[in-house]
Structure 1
Amino acid sequence: MKMFVVVLVLLQVSHHAFCVEVYEGVESVLLPCQVNTSVSTVVWSREDYKYTTVHLRDQSGDISENQNHYYRNRTSMRADALQSGDLSLTLRKPTIRDSGKYLCTVYRSGQDLSRTEVQLLVTVTVTEGVESVLLPFKTTANMTEDVTVKWRLSGTNRKTVLVFGKGLNNEFKKHSSYRGRTEMKKDPLETGDLSLILKNPVCKDTGVYTCTVYRDGDILAQKILKLLVKRTALVH
C-alpha cells in the first residue's frame, strides 16, 4: 500500500502601514517601502483610480506602459532598488490631488512577498479672503442613487461639512458654520466627482477633511485631505 504525503506550504505576506504628511508646493516627497531581501518586481498602485498603476519596476527596468498618465515623469526609485530592498518611491511636485492611499506590492519569483500601505496627506494652503478652495475627490466606486456621501472635518470638534444622498436635506445636516458655504459639482453620482467646494474659507476651517461614501452602512470609498487656512497678513 502506497502512502502519499501532502505538504501544505503557507506563504506569509508581511504588511506595513505608514502615514506621510507634506505641504503642497515642495519639490518632492518620499513614500517608504523596504524589504530585507532582493526582489524581482515592485508595483506602486492606487486602488481608487481607474488606472491603478503609479509606478512599476521589474528586472528589465521601469515599465510605463500601463502607468496612470497623471504620474508620468513624476515618479522614480533608486537605481539599485530591487537589489537593495529599498523600494521607496519619490513623487515630484505633490499636489492635494495626490493625497490618498498608496500600496507598494513586492514580488519575488512571481510570489507576493510584501505589501506596504502609505497614506499620503498633502496639505493645501490658502489665505483667508480667497473666494473658494477645492478639495478634490474622484472615485471609481459604483455610484448608484442609494449611496450617501458625507464630508466631515475630523479632530476633537468633528463637524459635518456636507451630506449628499437621495431624500437628504443637505443644509439641515450641515454644521451651522458651513451652511451656505459648501457644495459639490453637478451630477456627482453620474461623474464620480465628489469634490468639495468650500467658499470663503476661514482659519477655523483648518483641519483634516474626510469624504466617505456609504451604501447600507458599508463604506464604498473614502478620501482624506488636509487644509490649512492662514490669516491675511496685516499691512502696516
Structure 2
Amino acid sequence: MEEVEVTDREDFVRLPFKTAADLPPEAKVVWSRTNKPHTVHEYQNGQNQSDRQNHEYLHRTEMNLDAIKTGDLTLTLKDPRLGDCGVFICTVYNKDGKILRRKVLTVTVKVYQVIKVSVEEGKRSVVLPFKVTRRLLSEDIIVKWRLSDLEDRLLYIYHRGHQGPTQDQVYGGHIEMNEDPLTTGDFSLAISDLRLTDSVYTCTVYDEHGEILHQKVVVLIVRGLQMEMVEVTKGEPSVSLPFKIPGPVDEDIRVEWTHPDSKQTEVMTFENGEIQLSKQNKVYRRRTEMDKDLLTSGDLSLILKNPGVDDNGLYKCTVYSGEEVQQWKTVTLSIRGQ
C-alpha cells in the first residue's frame, strides 16, 4: 500500500501505478474507492469512460491514452480536496472479468490553511479572514462558519446568494460577511460583539452534495495588553486595580475579582446589581469597594484598602454573561516598602 500526500492548494495529484507492459489490449482499468458509489475513473479501449464515473470526480480525473500499451496506469486527480482523503484501489480486468493487477493507495489531502489572528483584550470586534480561489466559486457551494473549540456551534451560513447568522444566543446578530462573496471569493467573517476568549473557528466550503471542497481554521488569540502592573507604597490607605469597559453594561452580567496567587482567591463578586458579600473571602471584607454605578459607567475597578505584603501578586477580573466569558483583565499588584 502506497501513501500519497498533497496539500489542498495544489492543482493536481498523481496516484502512481506502473506495471509490466504485457496487458491485453482489451483490458479494463477501474479506479475506485471503498466508501464511494460508482467508480472514480474507468479506462478501456484507449478511452476514459466518463459515463461510468462518480459525479464527484467528473472532469477531475485523467489517465494516459496509451496506458495499457505502456503499463503506466497512473491516475491524475485534479483539484484535490479534503473529501478525497481515503483509500483508492486500481484494478485491471481482462475481458472475462478476471483480475490481472491490483494496487491500493491511501491519499491524504493536508490542510495548511491554519492561521492565527490576534486581537487586543478590550477590543469588541475582529475579522476572521477567509478567501477562496475562483475555481471553487459556484452558485451551488455552501459555506459554513463554526465555533469549534470547547463545543461545536454553527454561527453563519451562505448558500445560493442567501446568507445570515444562525440563531446562536451569543453571536446571533453580531456577525456578518461581505454582501457578494460569490463574486469576490471573500468569505471573511466580521464579529462586532466579540466574546474575548481564545477560540478556534472553522470555515468550510461544501459542494451541492455535501462534499468538502475547502476548509480553513482560524485560531483567535487574545493578546493580554490589559495585563497591568500597579505599584503602591506600604502604608498607603488604598490602591485601585483599574479595569474599565465601554458602558452602559448589561444588567445580567457577573463580575468576579479573584486573587489566584493567594489561598483566599475570592476577592469580590458583583451579581444581580449588587455586591455579593456571601461570596467574598473574609480577608477582604470591609477592605474592598467597587463603583456602585458600574452598570452605567463601565468602571469595574477594584479599590483595595490598607494594602499589605500579603496582597502582593496577580489579580484577575472576569466579566460573565450567563456562563459565557465576555472580557477579563489581569493586574499585578506590587507593595513597595516605605
Q: Does 1:181 align with 2:236?
A: no
Q: Describe the superposition over 1:117-170 as per-residue Cα deviations: whole angstroms up to 9, x where unpaired.
A: 543544221111112211111224883222111101112514211111116553
Contact 1:50–1:140 (CA under 8 A) maintained in structure 2: no
Equivalent residue for 1:49, pick from 115, 119, 123: 123
Q: In structure 1, what is the Cα distance between the partners aligned to 2:221 and 2:275?
A: 40
TM-score scaled by length of structure 1 = 0.52
Q: In structure 2, what is the Cα distance between the partners aligned to 1:223 and 1:131?
A: 24
Q: In structure 1, what is the Cα distance between the partners aligned to 2:275 and 2:262?
A: 25
Q: Describe the superposition over 1:75-133 as per-residue Cα deviations: whole angstroms up to 9, x where unpaired.
A: xxxxxxxxxxxxxxxxxxxxxxxxx999xxxxxxxx99997654354422111111221
Q: Residue 12 of structure 1 aligns with which residue? A: 113
Q: Residue 170 of structure 1 aligns with which residue? A: 276
Q: Does 1:202 align with 2:308?
A: yes
What letter is aligned with 2:122?
A: D
TM-superposed CA distance for 1:174, in Å, is 1.6
TM-score scaled by length of structure 2 = 0.38
SS in structure 2 opposite 1:209?
strand
What letter is aligned with 1:198?
A: L
Q: In structure 2, what is the Cα distance between the partners aligned to 1:158 and 1:114?
A: 34
Q: Residue 249 of structure 2 aligns with which residue? A: 143
SS in structure 1 opposite 2:224?
strand
Equivalent residue for 1:131, pick from 220, 234, 237: 237
Q: In structure 1, what is the Cα distance between the partners aligned to 2:275 and 2:228?
A: 31
What letter is aligned with 1:48?
A: G
Q: In structure 1, what is the Cα distance between the partners aligned to 2:271 and 2:254?
A: 5
Q: Counterparts in 2 of 1:146-157, with a 5 A limit?
A: 146-157=252-263
Q: Does 1:191 align with 2:297?
A: yes
Greater radius of gyration (CA): 2
Q: Counterparts in 2 of 1:1-236, with a 5 A limit?
A: 3-5=58-60, 6-8=79-81, 10-15=111-116, 45-49=119-123, 118-120=223-225, 121-140=227-246, 143-166=249-272, 170-232=276-338
What letter is aligned with 1:119?
A: G
SS in structure 2 opposite 1:49?
coil
- Relative contact order, CA 8 A, sep 6+: which one is greater? 1
Tell me, which stretches of 5 or more residues in structure 1 are unaligned? 16-42, 53-99, 103-110
Q: In structure 1, what is the Cα distance between the partners aligned to 2:218 and 2:326?
A: 27
Contact 2:257–2:269 (CA under 8 A) maintained in structure 1: yes
SS in structure 2 opposite 1:150?
strand
Q: Residue 25 of structure 2 aligns with which residue? A: none
Q: 1:167 to 1:196 in 2, by over 3 A?
A: closer
Q: In structure 2, what is the Cα distance between the partners aligned to 1:14 and 1:161?
A: 38
Contact 1:125–1:229 (CA under 8 A) maintained in structure 2: yes
Contact 1:49–1:140 (CA under 8 A) maintained in structure 2: no
Contact 2:238–2:307 (CA under 8 A) maintained in structure 1: yes
Tell me, which stretches of 5 or more residues in structure 2 are unaligned? 1-49, 52-57, 61-78, 83-110, 127-195, 199-215
Aligned-residue identity in percent: 34
Q: In structure 2, what is the Cα distance between the partners aligned to 1:167 and 1:189?
A: 8
Aligned length: 151
